[in-house]
Amino acid sequence: MAKRNIKPTDSELAILQVIWEKGPSSVREINDELNKLRETGYTTTLKILQIMTTKGLVTRTKDGRNHIYAAAAEKNATQQQLLDKLLMGAFGGSAKKLVLEALGSHKTTLEELQEIQNYIDELKGAGS
């Protein structure tokens, strides 16, 4: 799965976020978490999970009467592929443009800015 292009829809990404946070989960557990953000029907969650299984985004194992779903790809690998697609498609491959847009269009806390600065300093040190 790591080398395959990961192209989850927004709904699929929401489900992956739940699984990455909670670990392997039943449809009911996933649906309960999704409902904390917005109303989502159980059968809708089940159908999306079935599609995700076919796409190879999740794996399914049987546990008694329940099916347990687990992410087929690690969170970091999926985020990296989605970021690469966004970077190339929307920002012409320019990390500078992406970062400036991200920092300029959202309220960034001083703590976040300090973490970013620490990371930049770390990158500068690695390049020396």
Interatomic CA distance for residues 20 and 29, integer angstroms: 13
CA distances (Å), origin 58, targets 13, 14, 19, 84, 114 = 11, 13, 9, 21, 36
Whether 99 and 75 map to the same domain: the answer is: no
What are the tokens at 52? 């995700």
Whether 86 and 99 map to the same domain: the answer is: no
Q: Model-level pTM?
A: 0.76
Question: Which range marks the domain in which residue 109 is found?
Answer: 94-128
Summarize the confidence of residues 74-94 as an average pLDDT. 91
Note the pLDDT tens digit of each residue in 11-50: 999 999 999 999 999 999 999 999 999 999 999 999 999 9
Residue indicated by tokens 């920002």: 91
Whether 51 and 3 map to the same domain: the answer is: yes
Whether 74 and 13 map to the same domain: the answer is: yes
Note the pLDDT tens digit of each residue in 43-67: 999 999 999 999 999 999 998 999 9
| pLDDT for res 5 | 67
Whether 88 and 103 map to the same domain: the answer is: no
Count structural domains, the chain. Answer: 2
